[in-house]
Structure 1
């Protein structure tokens, strides 16, 4: 009888132990499926050419991190870099060229090294239907043709000048714009006949413009680096966003927009 009672006690103990193990296992699983832990406001300064893609990526990031609110400020990379070095509060900087990123890193305002996450290439944006029959960079020198370029300190302007030099073509623009969206807008409004812009910007505006490819653009491809900032008000969310931008889902969005993989 004593042996029977001992056996029953052992079985009961094992049953209780088993219940405890099951409870302990389920608790971490529930925690793993909850929010990532990042929260608060996140401010991202990004090149104007990233507008459409980053708006989509920002919404996806907020969906994955419901306690985070992302605010974007778009513009010419050189101007954004100056804002950062002048003390403007921001968490992340995404530039359209290593040269403008270098302004930030040289000033000691970057948190670690910047990472190239995509590349971009120029096209000639023309009025829908290409009424002027523009096919090459040399066509931009035709008498009476109005051309818009980005200012030289802006990445799209530096790339344009490099491509024009490679083609041995000298273009006298009627306007120099501070970012690629402004240059493209001149074409959309009919104020110029053509502009050198990124492939992604022309693709985003296919209802209003056509993008004319030209071979010299292959020698003027811009790398796009991204970095968290040293004085980031929300460093944990900043690091999470930079990691997300380099993830598969975000890269799919960027490639669909016309960017090239790094």
Structure 2
């Protein structure tokens, strides 16, 4: 059964090769494993190794709905496996990985945060971009403040929340504001996109700049407002196998599922764009 992992405070917290390269790596690894098994007479080169054990995935908070669904599908396809997730701000997750936190896969909300891991050579494969995401304004249900543009958020009297500038959704918001030549002082900066969204859900803020995927996941709890400046701040989502992965074969199989047509369908249904 898929289950989330608790992350410690702050400790857990380009796109190079494409999907084809990652799938080729997976196929190569499977071939090597099959070859070794064939020597013992227990397998053939055409068979796939039986996967088992736990896969630990560190993933950006905005991936919670789609990756949870994919984790359940993976466990269904491979009985005996369990996918554990730690969702959070990509920068905090990257810091956890470089600090030695055990994980098999890292899925980031931006190439910049992925670079924290690749610069330290904590990755075992070149990052592959598997999705893209775009910003949207989340307002209270019914949009009582009549927010119609990014500029409207700069008006006095509105309590607006942004993601911290160090995390991908916050960096994207700053790009969008720069594109519109706008300045905005939020009532708070949040450490991940779900925290920013929850401020609106809990009616502690009037609006937040988050991802389209998060607005969609919230359903009737918020109302989304598109704005043209978001086109200047679309985030690529890269994914990599980590160097110290404890279950690399199962981890590569999970990554292959994300990159597959089935995985891409789940991602687009939750609001992501294909790479």
Q: What is the count of residue pairs matched by the alignment?
A: 233
1:243 aligns with 2:256: yes
Determine if the alignment matches structure 1 residue 186 to structure 2 residue 195: no
1:150 is aligned to 2:144: no
Q: Deviations over 1:76-115 (max 9, x none)?
A: 0000000000000000000000000000000010012000
CA contact (8 A) 1:151 1:176 kept: yes
SS of 1:125's equivalent in the other structure is strand
Query: Structure 1 runs of 4+ off > 3 angstroms?
Result: none
Please tell me whether residue 69 in structure 1 is matched to residue 82 in structure 2: yes
Residue in 1 aligned with 2:135?
A: 122
Return the structure number with greater helix share.
Answer: 1
> Counterparts of 1:195 and 1:157 in 2: how far apart (Å)?
11
- Residue correspondence of structure 1 range 13-162 to structure 2 within 5 A: 36-162=49-175
Deviates more, 1:176-185 or 1:235-244: 235-244
Using the TM superposition, give the Cα deviation of residue 244 of structure 1 relative to its aligned residue in structure 2, in angstroms: 1.1
| TM-score normalised according to structure 1 size | 0.87
SS in 2 for 1:206: helix
Tell me how far 1:52 sits from its aligned partner.
0.4
For the pair shown, the structure with the greater C-alpha radius of gyration is 1
Taking the aligned partners of 1:36 and 1:215, their CA distance within structure 2 comes to 48
Structure 1 residue matching 2:208: 3-state secondary structure:
strand
Structure 2 CA distance for aligned equivalents of residues 166 and 140 of structure 1:
15
Deviation at 1:36, TM superposition (A): 4.6
Matches of 2:53 and 2:43, distance apart in 1: 24
Unaligned residue ranges in structure 1 (runs of 5+): 1-26
**1:159-209 deviations in whole A, cap 9, x for unaligned?**
000001101111100000000000000000111100000000000002200
Per the normalisation by structure 2, the TM-score is 0.83
Contact preservation (8 Å) 1:36, 1:65: no
